[in-house]
């Protein structure tokens, strides 16, 4: 049976026994001790070969995180970490302080408890900031010295930032936002910055530009995975992802003063870039092979980051995130778990009763395309209400095309059970509705180019019709006492693995 499910993080999950803040290197030592890290010392070319190795290795679910230590043409002593989280719920659990042995459904429930916690970051001196072991300013800045991957054959260039976060500040409130954006290497001191409409990073930049100022940005690579996870999720504009990452860690994210900007920088990062983004300074950017399995839109003119300073540790570990079809995409299992927990939280905050689970399936465009909501129907129209609100709640409004409601006797994380519900409880002519003019991505291949990003959503009610619940036949379930007896005797039968965890039983 699975271990008892924790409802909160241990108080020291973000620190070691000596009280030192956790960083990427400490987390790598943790996952290596559990067989979750594979180190590759053979020479590897960061131009496409790195991607080929990663893509091929990650076709096997459960592939370890990959640390490449010998990169062709590199004179900086850098390393590249890729598939940091990927399709591994176990590494996600180790990143946020949860039991990696939990089932996916249990991990979603546990994540909801973790996400209730907020711990604000703390400032430390530069002498306590490993990222400031090496500081480079004007005249010494040269991003081309570092190994920068070209992921796919049709990419528009090399991409320094995929497994990175970008910090911006709201000029009105001072709230720090952390988001994930792709960053193309243009020159020794210039990065292309692909801002996304509707996201908080662009909103903050536009707020600075409207005041006649360039926007300050901080790019951080080689960060603790808890910070990367927080930066990929949707939270209120007034919240800082740094506070949420602190909640994941159970300890404050440590920041230190920048060299050129007023923004702080992550003290425990491996590599940090300080820069300015000017409204009218644009350069061609893209395309890049993305999470949806296609190349992004054709090259267009986008803002650039004018690099003013670089901080890095000696022999830095540069995090890279491969964008590909599941299970090879960096935003895989962890994204499905975190997004699902946020959807449940959104529905609960709206006062919707009876929600028993949710799952954004990773195989559906890496948890963006399809969401299943399980509920106990309590009143007429309950399932329809849940479908409409789940389709447009903050956590699932972007890109999700298929929203499916199932009864509480169906596990939303089990696609076989979901398919069973759709084929036995949904009547297509009655149980499918469509929302139009909804928010989709800029590269949605199901739409004509001039229609994007306005898409649609299908709402599929795969619950028993509420009006017939009282007369519907019972499902075939095991008797609880028989199930318990078989679990106790499992080893006696010489059956492989552990007995399955069942949640529904015959009603006496």
- In this predicted model, what pLDDT tens digit does every residue of 231-290 receive, in sequence order? 999 899 999 999 999 999 999 999 999 999 999 999 999 999 999 999 999 999 999 999
With respect to residue 116, please indicate whether it lies within any of the assigned structural domains: yes
Mean pLDDT (whole number) for 205-226 = 98
> Does residue 212 come out as left (phi exceeding 0), alpha (psi in the -120 to 50 range) or beta?
left
Q: Is the dihedral of CA 32, 37, 43, 46 positive or negative?
A: negative
Q: Show which of 288, 320, 352 is a domain's final residue.
A: 320
Q: What is the DSSP string of 273-341?
A: EEEEE-TT-EEEE---B-TTSSB-SSPEEEEEEEEEEEEE-SS-EEEE----STTSSSBSHHHHHHHHH
DSSP conformational letter for 4: P
> What pLDDT score does 15 carry?
52
Residues 458 and 506 in one domain: no
Q: Provide the angle, in degrees to the nearest 10, between the axes of the packed helices 89-96 and 333-349.
A: 60
Burial of 487 (0-12, 13-18, 19+ CB in 10 A): middle
Which residue bears the tokens 């389709």?
391
> What pLDDT score does 342 carry?
95
Helix/strand/coil for 225? helix
Residues 489 and 467 in one domain: no
Task: Tell me if 418 sits within 8 A of 407, measured CB to CB.
Answer: no
Q: What is the DSSP string of 448-496?
A: -GGGTTEEEEEEEE-SPPGGGGGGSPPP----HHHHHHHHHTGGGGT-S
Residues 272 and 401 in one domain: no
- In this predicted model, what pLDDT tens digit does every residue of 460-478 receive, in sequence order? 999 999 999 989 899 999 9
d(CA 366, CA 330): 9
Residues 337 and 314 in one domain: no
Confidence of residue 14 (pLDDT cuts 50, 70, 90): low
d(CA 239, CA 116): 12
Q: Look at 62 and 207; give whichever has higher pLDDT.
A: 207
Record the pTM: 0.91
Mean pLDDT (whole number) for 373-387 = 98
Confidence of residue 1 (pLDDT cuts 50, 70, 90): very low
Confidence of residue 6 (pLDDT cuts 50, 70, 90): very low
pLDDT at residue 61 tops 90:
no
d(CA 37, CA 69): 13
Q: How far is CA 213 from CA 167, 274, 280, 307, in A?
A: 17, 16, 11, 16
State how many domains the chain has.
Answer: 3
Task: Tell me if 357 sits within 8 A of 412, measured CB to CB.
Answer: yes
pLDDT at residue 3 tops 60:
no
With respect to residue 2, please indicate whether it lies within any of the assigned structural domains: no
Q: Is the dihedral of CA 498, 501, 506, 507 positive or negative?
A: positive
Query: Can you give the CATH number for the domain in which 439 is found?
Result: 3.40.1670.10
With respect to residue 353, please indicate whether it lies within any of the assigned structural domains: yes
The mean predicted confidence, pLDDT, of the chain is 93
Within 10 angstroms of residue 110's Cβ, the number of other Cβ atoms is 23
Give the structural domain span for 506.
479-508
Residues 35 and 104 in one domain: yes
DSSP conformational letter for 184: E
Residues 486 and 439 in one domain: no
Query: Can you give the CATH number for the domain in which 265 is found?
Result: 2.30.110.10
With respect to residue 114, please indicate whether it lies within any of the assigned structural domains: yes
Q: Show which of 320, 351, 379 is a domain's final residue.
A: 320
pLDDT at residue 306 tops 50:
yes
| Residue 431 CB contacts under 8 Å (≥ 6 apart), including other chains | 460, 461, 462
Q: Show which of 296, 320, 344 is a domain's final residue.
A: 320
Residues 186 and 40 in one domain: yes
Q: Which residues pair with 436 in a beta bridge?
A: 456
- In this predicted model, what pLDDT tens digit does every residue of 309-357 receive, in sequence order? 999 999 999 999 999 999 999 998 999 999 999 999 999 999 999 999 9
| Residue 359 CB contacts under 8 Å (≥ 6 apart), including other chains | 104, 105, 108, 336, 340, 371, 372, 412, 413
With respect to residue 28, please indicate whether it lies within any of the assigned structural domains: yes
With respect to residue 132, please indicate whether it lies within any of the assigned structural domains: yes
Mean pLDDT (whole number) for 13-42 = 84
Residues 419 and 288 in one domain: no
Q: Is the dihedral of CA 166, 167, 169, 173 positive or negative?
A: positive
d(CA 343, CA 355): 10
Residues 66 and 203 in one domain: yes
Helix/strand/coil for 386? helix
Q: What is the 3-state secondary structure (H, E, C) of 82-114?
A: ECCCECCHHHHHHHHCCCCCCCHHHHHHHHHHH
With respect to residue 293, please indicate whether it lies within any of the assigned structural domains: yes
End-to-end CA, the chain: 24
- The two beta strands, 190-193 and 183-187, are antiparallel
pLDDT at residue 442 tops 90:
no
Within 10 angstroms of residue 170's Cβ, the number of other Cβ atoms is 17
Q: How far is CA 221 from CA 240, 320, 390, in A?
A: 18, 8, 33
> What pLDDT score does 402 carry?
98
Residues 60 and 86 in one domain: yes
Closest CA to 237 of 207, 203, 213: 203
CA 378 vs. chain centroid, Å, equals 33
| Residue 41 CB contacts under 8 Å (≥ 6 apart), including other chains | 69, 70
Task: Tell me if 288 sits within 8 A of 156, measured CB to CB.
Answer: yes
Question: Which backbone phi and psi does 479 adopt, to 5 degrees?
Answer: -75, 135
> Does 287 sit behind a cis peptide bond, omega within 30 degrees of 0 on the bond before it?
yes
Residues 391 and 456 in one domain: yes
Residues 191 and 146 in one domain: yes
Mean pLDDT (whole number) for 402-418 = 97
Proportion of the chain above pLDDT 90, given as a percent: 88
Contacts made by residues 480-489, CB under 8 angstroms, sequence distance 24+ = 480/505, 480/506, 487/1
With respect to residue 184, please indicate whether it lies within any of the assigned structural domains: yes
């Amino acid at each position: 049976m699975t271990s008892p499910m924790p409802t909160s993080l241990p108080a020291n999950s973000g620190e070691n026994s000596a009280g030192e803040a956790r960083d990427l290197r400490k987390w790598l030592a943790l996952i290596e001790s559990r067989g979750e890290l594979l180190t590759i010392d053979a020479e590897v070319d960061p131009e496409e070969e790195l991607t080929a190795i990663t893509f091929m290795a990650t076709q096997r679910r459960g592939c370890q995180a990959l640390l490449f230590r010998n990169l062709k043409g590199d004179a900086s002593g850098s390393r590249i970490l890729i598939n940091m989280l990927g399709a591994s719920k176990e590494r996600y659990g180790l990143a946020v302080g949860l039991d990696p042995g939990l089932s996916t459904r249990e991990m979603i429930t546990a994540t909801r408890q973790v996400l209730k916690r907020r711990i604000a970051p703390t400032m430390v001196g530069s002498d306590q900031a490993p990222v400031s072991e090496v500081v480079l300013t004007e005249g010494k800045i040269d991003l081309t010295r570092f190994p920068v991957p070209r992921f796919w054959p049709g990419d528009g260039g090399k991409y320094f930032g995929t497994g990175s976060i970008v910090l911006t500040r709201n000029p009105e409130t001072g709230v720090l936002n952390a988001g994930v954006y792709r960053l193309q290497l243009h020159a020794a001191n210039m990065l292309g910055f692909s801002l996304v409409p509707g996201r908080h990073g662009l909103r903050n930049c536009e707020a600075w530009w409207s005041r006649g100022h360039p926007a300050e940005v901080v790019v951080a690579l080689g960060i603790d995975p808890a910070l990367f996870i927080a930066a990929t999720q949707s939270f209120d504009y007034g919240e800082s992802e740094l506070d949420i990452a602190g909640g994941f860690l159970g300890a404050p994210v440590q920041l230190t003063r920048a060299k050129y900007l007023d923004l702080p920088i992550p003290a425990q990062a491996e590599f940090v870039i300080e820069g300015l983004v000017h409204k009218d300074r644009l350069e061609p950017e893209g395309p890049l092979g993305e999470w949806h399995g296609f190349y992004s839109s054709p090259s267009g003119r986008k803002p650039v980051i004018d690099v003013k300073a670089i901080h890095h540790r000696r022999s830095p570990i540069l995090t890279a995130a491969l964008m590909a079809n599941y299970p090879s995409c960096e935003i895989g299992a962890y994204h499905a778990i975190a997004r699902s927990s946020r959807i449940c939280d959104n529905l609960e905050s709206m006062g919707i009763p009876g929600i028993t689970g949710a799952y954004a399936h990773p195989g559906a465009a890496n948890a963006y395309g399809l969401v299943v909501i399980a509920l106990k129907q309590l009143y007429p129209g309950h399932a329809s209400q849940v479908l409409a609100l789940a389709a447009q709640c903050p956590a699932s409004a972007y890109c999700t095309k298929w929203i499916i409601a199932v009864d509480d006797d169906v596990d939303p994380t089990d696609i076989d059970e979901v398919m069973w519900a759709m084929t036995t409880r949904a009547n297509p002519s009655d149980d499918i509705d469509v929302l139009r003019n909804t928010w989709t991505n800029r590269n949605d291949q199901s739409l004509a180019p001039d229609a994007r990003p306005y898409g649609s959503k299908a709402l599929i009610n795969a619950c028993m019709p509420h009006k017939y619940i009282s007369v519907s036949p019972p499902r075939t379930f095991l008797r609880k006492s028989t199930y318990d007896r078989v679990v106790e005797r499992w080893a006696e039968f010489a059956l492989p693995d552990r007995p399955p965890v069942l949640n529904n039983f015959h009603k006496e």
